[in-house]
Structure 1
Amino acid sequence: MATAGLPWWRNRRLIPWLVQAGVGLAVLVLVAFLVTNLVRNLTAAGLLLSWSWLDNPAGFDIAETWLPFDAGLPYWRGLLAGLVNTLRVVVLGLVGSTLLGTLAGTASFSGNALLRSLARVYVEVIRNVPLLLQLVFWYFVVFLQLPNGSAAIQIPGLVLAKSGLYLGQPELVNGVWQASMRVSVEFGALLTGLVVYTGAFIAEVVRGGVAAVPAGQWEAARSLGFSPLQTLRSIVLPQALRAIVPGLNSQYISLAKNSSLAVACGYTDLYSVAETTLNQTGRAVEVVLILLGSYLVIDLTISALMNGLNQLVQLKER
């Protein structure tokens, strides 16, 4: 038991601590070297880290934002408006993709062969086409080809036109559609692309979760007189959630990160505003740090919420 007589290099308790201390010291030295080199280069270029530029007038406008903004407001307000736009599409995208993915995933177990086939074709096609190409398709091929004026697609409470999507009670005034709520085609194309793309992956997560429920649960429900829809809604899905929620977490985080492709649709999100800010100020390091921090906080928030939901749906030992 005694280790007093052993040399230090044969002490099995001491060696792991020495190795960890050595690795930790090496990492600290490397980080210190990189930071010192960065500061030296920024100082030589006259670009030492500074945040005072955030209070300068931005000098550019944002076409669509829930947060009022104009060219005379400071850069930080523009970045905040871009963040609001990003959160807007992320939140709506999470809701829409979850609904679409759940419908497509459960359709794989439908007794209707046509419905099952359509669900599989949707999943296989969408998952194997790059998201960027899909966004370009929805924006240039679909939304920008919508008719305008009286030729616009008119549905009760909704008008689809090249100038935008009008909700509420749309009316045509002097050839221009007006409504209490208008959504730009840029936002519509981005949201549609994200929902359709992420929904295909969520459909596979849902299908796998439902398939993990023992077949005996379906048989027991059938013997009790439950319809297939009642069985799925009341018996199978509640049990499948334990397998579905962990997979949803990664898909939700992917959707939040994929929202940065909004530039393909011309939608002004956080990344777009940050890019304009970088071009005007030259503050590459600060702008990149803001982008990294913003997306990190968004993803960590989603992960924390989903981890909490995962704990709620897990079986509790009694």
Structure 2
Amino acid sequence: MATKAPAPRPKRRLSWNDPGIRALIYQVLVVGIVGAIIWYLVSNTLHNLAVRNIATGFGFLHREAGFAIGETMVDYTPADTYGRAIWVGILNTLRVSVIGIVLATIFGTILGVARLSSNWLVSRMAGIYVEVMRNIPLLLQLFFWYAIITEIMPGPRQALHPIQGIFISNRGLKLPALVGDGLDWMLAGLGIAIVAILAIAHWARRRQEATGRIFPLGRTAVLLIVALPVLAWLLGGAQLKIEYPELKGFNFQGGITLSPEFAALLAGLVLYTSAFICEVVRSGIQAVSKGQWEAAGSLGLPRGRMLRLVILPQALRVIVPPMTSQYLNLTKNSSLAVAIGYPDIVSVVNTTLNQTGQAIEGILIIMAAYLTVSLSISIFMNWYNKRIALVER
């Protein structure tokens, strides 16, 4: 029996009564209006700059900067270019942001669990901390911590010495440092240990799903983190020593220095953001039904393991999306570093545009830097959120 050919689709006629045609015309008009506004703003800006004989472009990045930066993660001198100086500022911003995110996550999670503690004093103290920190502007907190370090802390000769090799003074925080050729070997060993732990965790999860047997991942991770760097240190010739800071003259020599500006900025960002992360963690844990607690308790799990193995994995699906916003806020709030003199990207670019007059280019560089970092954080957190999301059958 011959199959009947499908009826030809009617040709679409261009008519204003067609909703699809109207929608297309409206979209074209909106795009055209936005494009015209952008063209007008750009052309008007270029015209005004030309009238005032102000050069445009990013050629200034190759010129000699001529100013010093007090805190750098890479080699830098005033003879280097503006581009190198801006790179130093970006690295300083990434440094405080990454360390701040890690510390704020740890401290905020501890506070979030403390808020739900059955101990009345612990839960109330955590609640008071959250309310105080969230309702004091971050800029004031930065000024407070900077004043504490620079005005109240004693000088180097009377520095506080709570632990061997650690000194706290108005010059900042001095810590012991690992020096020697073996340090690179140890870092390589640590990297291998982290990769191995991730691979073992993936294998252990699949093994548990298949057999129900729990692999001691925690003890294995600790063993690898300790053993592999030590093994790499031995393979590298064991050329490593601890350099303790020593008071010489009017200041300390050796060790690692955390400047007052960096210490104040990090303390302010961590303590402020951890108060918000605390509430995110608390709400995520409370979103898990009470039945999950009862089911875990019926298996005889202690409360700590119950929280780690049953409650928090389910709470993460609620915690991760708002946690992303807190990470972005911490990164963007680091721009307040200019108020206390920490040389982040904003501070370095401000000095650059004051010397070169390239204000528009400088602002574009700052915007591009924060946009790139923020999008990178968002992409990673969205990937992680999809990875832990429930899969519908």
User: Is residue 165 from structure 1 mapped to residue 173 from structure 2 by the alignment?
Assistant: yes
Report the Cα distance in structure 2 between the residues aligned to 1:86 and 1:76, rounded to whole angstroms: 15
| Within-5 A mapping of 1:260-299 | 260-299=335-374
By how many angstroms is 1:10 displaced? 1.3
The one of 252, 258, 265 equivalent to 1:183 is 258
By how many angstroms is 1:175 displaced? 5.3
Contact in 2 for aligned 1:144/1:185 (Cα 8 Å): no
Report the Cα distance in structure 2 between the residues aligned to 1:179 and 1:143, rounded to whole angstroms: 21
The one of 222, 242, 253 equivalent to 2:328 is 253
Report the Cα distance in structure 2 between the residues aligned to 1:135 and 1:317, rounded to whole angstroms: 46
SS in 2 for 1:154: coil
Contact in 1 for aligned 2:149/2:172 (Cα 8 Å): no
- Size of the aligned set, in residue pairs, is 317
Report the Cα distance in structure 2 between the residues aligned to 1:23 and 1:164, rounded to whole angstroms: 55
**TM-score of the superposed pair, with normalisation by structure 1:** 0.95
2:221 aligns with none
Structure 1 pair 175–26 and aligned structure 2 pair: CA distance change class (3 A): closer
The one of 295, 299, 305 equivalent to 1:220 is 295
By how many angstroms is 1:118 displaced? 1.0
By how many angstroms is 1:193 displaced? 0.3
The runs of 5 or more residues in structure 2 that have no matched partner are: 1-8, 177-243
Q: Aligned letter for 2:80?
A: L
1:155 aligns with 162
2:45 aligns with 38
More displaced, 168-177 or 156-165?
A: 168-177
**Root mean square deviation, CA, Å:** 1.7
Contact in 2 for aligned 1:166/1:178 (Cα 8 Å): no
Q: Aligned letter for 1:57?
A: E
SS in 1 for 2:79: coil
Larger Rg: 2
Report the Cα distance in structure 2 between the residues aligned to 1:300 and 1:87, rounded to whole angstroms: 14
2:75 aligns with 68
Structure 1 pair 34–149 and aligned structure 2 pair: CA distance change class (3 A): closer
Report the Cα distance in structure 2 between the residues aligned to 1:309 and 1:7, rounded to whole angstroms: 46
2:389 aligns with 314
By how many angstroms is 1:67 displaced? 1.5
The one of 92, 101, 120 equivalent to 1:113 is 120
By how many angstroms is 1:142 displaced? 4.2
Report the Cα distance in structure 2 between the residues aligned to 1:175 and 1:40, rounded to whole angstroms: 55
Report the Cα distance in structure 2 between the residues aligned to 1:102 and 1:262, rounded to whole angstroms: 25
Q: Aligned letter for 2:27?
A: Q
| Within-5 A mapping of 1:191-202 | 191-202=266-277
Q: Aligned letter for 2:145?
A: W
Contact in 2 for aligned 1:39/1:48 (Cα 8 Å): no
Contact in 2 for aligned 1:3/1:11 (Cα 8 Å): no
**TM-score of the superposed pair, with normalisation by structure 2:** 0.77
Structure 1 pair 7–279 and aligned structure 2 pair: CA distance change class (3 A): closer
Structure 1: which 4+ aligned runs deviate by more than 4 Å? 1-4
By how many angstroms is 1:177 displaced? 2.5
Q: Aligned letter for 2:284?
A: G
Structure 1 pair 227–285 and aligned structure 2 pair: CA distance change class (3 A): same
By how many angstroms is 1:313 displaced? 1.1
Contact in 2 for aligned 1:139/1:189 (Cα 8 Å): yes
The one of 16, 40, 50 equivalent to 2:23 is 16
| Within-5 A mapping of 1:114-129 | 114-129=121-136
SS in 1 for 2:75: coil
The runs of 5 or more residues in structure 1 that have no matched partner are: none
